[in-house]
């Protein structure tokens, strides 16, 4: 598993690119908040285990993480997203596709590809995952038989196409008849990736579809952004894949029928440099999401974090805010600095201690603009989100059957 900004070879204006990435990250968060608001007002088998490399997408010009899988005999590079459900790739023939590295998937040359029809139960499951029923109908006298879908991601990105099923190779395990989206009209900031892997909790997600194979368990370790750094995405409870340096602590998933497709934890506390924060806003749900970059906190919690952090990280020249980040410094005159630890505490005393690489966001590589890599939500009643930047070098286990999340420190980049 790699970070997605690590694969183009082009000369990149990093200042412009990083600022744009944060703007788009903010649009994704706003989209998630709108989706949350809309949703709120509305026998034993042998279990497999498998593991695939997961890396930064830096070279593919995205701040998300990517994996490469075999889909119908062709390698496809997918963004890993626990905040959405449908897995999709760009397909031939394509009406409008963004530029991706490598050829588009072509269902016409695959012997294992099958069309999902609009009158099937699978098509009706689209309502939960995409809000689009994929109903049958006609257009200009031509009867439609395919199951069409539309998924929008809120940053202006979207994918439109039709559902199909195909074999997918995940590490050493082959899964037959995975239902996925064949994107014929796609736009957005997916970098050079072939598409997206949906790891949410609805019936069309890869996790639900592979329940009999992997028992609803998967985990990842997100590596840092350096060239060559590689973590892993594991399916099944394969503890041999874990190289955790601390013991696992577990917290139950918050049960919210209206937000059933998200992974929600109960944030009960936080500490900065060992100092526990005091605010009445703890004890509320927060999403954990691999597709959001920067962690967002409710304003009252963010204010407490910022105040204590500035108290401990004092004496350094301040710098102007950068996009959504408002706590910034100029550290060009310093070779070494002592960075306060940031720890999030969840129900059951589970802990996530943010890796040192996830505390600061280097907006400028010369350290003249270095910002605390946390941001405030706009409103107190919005739902917080733990982004991938603060999940680096952690082994995060998602057990959808036992409905719990496990967290332990792990050097993913070994």
Same domain, 286 and 221: no
Same domain, 222 and 309: no
Taking the chain, what is the end-to-end CA distance rounded to the nearest angstrom?
13
pLDDT for the residue 125 = 77
320 pLDDT exceeds 90? Answer: yes
> Is residue 109 helix, strand or coil?
helix
* Domain boundary residue, one of 202, 235, 268: 235
Same domain, 285 and 178: no
| Residue of 81, 125, 148, 213 marked catalytic | 81
pLDDT for the residue 273 = 98
Q: DSSP strand E in 108-172: where?
A: 114-115, 137-139, 142-144, 148-152, 158-170
- Percentage above 70 pLDDT, the chain: 90
Q: What is the pLDDT of residues 92-108, one digit of tens each?
A: 999 999 999 999 999 99
pLDDT for the residue 44 = 40
Indicate whether 33 belongs to any domain. no
Number of domains comprising the chain:
2
Please report, for the domain that includes residue 347, its CATH number.
2.40.70.10
> Is residue 298 helix, strand or coil?
coil
14 pLDDT exceeds 60? Answer: no
Where do the H-state alpha helices sit in 228-359?
A: 299-312
Residue scoring higher pLDDT (223 or 4) = 223
C-alpha separations of 221 from 54, 68, 150, 376 in Å: 8, 15, 30, 25
C-alpha separations of 407 from 189, 233, 275, 315, 345 in Å: 29, 14, 21, 34, 11
pLDDT for the residue 34 = 78
Indicate whether 116 belongs to any domain. yes
* Domain boundary residue, one of 235, 259, 280: 235
Same domain, 265 and 229: no
What does the DSSP assignment read for 376-391?
A: E-SSTTSPEEE-GGGS
- Hunting for tokens 């420190």 — which residue is that? 409
pTM score of the predicted model: 0.90
Active site residue 162: no
- Beta bridge partners, 74, equal 71
Mean pLDDT, range 143-150, rounded to an integer: 85
Indicate whether 28 belongs to any domain. no
113-127, 273-287, 386-400: least confident range: 113-127
**What number of CA atoms fall less than 13 Å from residue 121's CA on the CB side?**
1
Active site residue 238: no
Q: Which domain holds residue 366?
A: 249-408
Beta-carbon contacts of residue 381 (< 8 Å; ≥ 6 apart):
none
Indicate whether 75 belongs to any domain. yes
Distance, in Å, from the CA atom of 94 to the CA atom of 178, rounded to the nearest integer, reads: 21
Distance, in Å, from the CA atom of 292 to the CA atom of 83, rounded to the nearest integer, reads: 8
pLDDT for the residue 360 = 97
Indicate whether 2 belongs to any domain. no
| Residue of 148, 162, 238, 289 marked catalytic | 289
Residue 95 backbone dihedrals phi, psi, to 5 degrees = -75, -45
Mean pLDDT, range 71-82, rounded to an integer: 96
Indicate whether 21 belongs to any domain. no
Q: What is the pLDDT of residues 232-244, one digit of tens each?
A: 999 998 788 788 9
Strand pairing report for 264-272 and 284-288? antiparallel
Same domain, 113 and 203: yes
Q: What is the pLDDT of residues 345-378, one digit of tens each?
A: 999 999 999 999 999 999 999 999 999 999 999 9
Indicate whether 4 belongs to any domain. no
């Amino acid at each position: 598993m790699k970070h997605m900004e690590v694969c183009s070879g082009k000369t990149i204006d990093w200042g412009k690119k990083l600022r744009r990435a944060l703007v788009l990250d903010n649009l994704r968060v706003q989209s998630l908040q709108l989706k949350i608001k809309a949703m709120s007002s509305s026998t034993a088998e042998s279990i497999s285990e498998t593991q695939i490399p997961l890396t930064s997408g830096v070279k593919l010009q995205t701040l998300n993480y990517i994996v490469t899988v075999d889909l119908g005999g062709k390698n496809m590079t997918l963004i890993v997203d626990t905040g959405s459900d449908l897995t999709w790739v760009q397909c031939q023939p394509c009406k409008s596709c963004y530029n991706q590295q490598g050829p588009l998937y072509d269902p016409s040359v695959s012997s294992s590809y099958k069309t999902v029809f609009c009158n099937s139960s699978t098509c009706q499951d689209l309502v939960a995952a995409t809000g689009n029923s994929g109903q049958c109908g006609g257009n200009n006298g031509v009867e439609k038989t395919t199951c069409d879908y539309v998924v929008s991601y809120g940053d202006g990105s979207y994918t439109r196409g039709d559902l199909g099923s195909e074999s997918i190779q995940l590490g050493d395990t082959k899964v037959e008849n995975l239902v996925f989206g064949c994107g014929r009209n796609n736009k957005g900031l997916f970098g050079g990736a072939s598409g997206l892997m949906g790891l949410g909790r609805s019936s069309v997600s890869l996790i639900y579809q592979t329940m009999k194979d992997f028992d609803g368990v998967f985990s990842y370790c997100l590596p840092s952004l350096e060239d060559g750094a590689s973590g892993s995405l594991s399916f099944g409870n394969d503890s041999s894949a874990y190289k955790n340096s601390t013991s696992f602590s577990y917290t139950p998933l918050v049960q919210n029928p209206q937000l059933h497709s998200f992974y929600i934890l109960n944030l009960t506390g936080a500490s900065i440099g060992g100092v526990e924060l005091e605010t009445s806003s703890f004890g509320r749900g927060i999403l954990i999401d691999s597709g959001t970059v920067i962690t967002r906190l409710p304003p009252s919690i963010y204010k407490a974090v910022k105040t204590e952090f500035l108290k401990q990280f004092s004496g350094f020249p301040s710098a102007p805010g950068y996009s959504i980040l408002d706590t910034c410094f100029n550290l060009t005159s310093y070779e070494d600095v002592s960075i306060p630890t940031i720890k999030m505490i969840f129900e059951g005393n589970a802990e996530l201690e943010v890796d040192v690489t996830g505390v600061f966001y280097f907006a400028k590589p010369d350290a003249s603009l270095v910002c605390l890599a946390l941001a405030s939500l706009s409103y107190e009643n919005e739902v917080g989100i733990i982004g991938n930047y603060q999940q680096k070098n952690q082994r995060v286990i998602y057990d959808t059957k036992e409905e719990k999340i496990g967290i332990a420190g792990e050097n993913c980049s070994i």
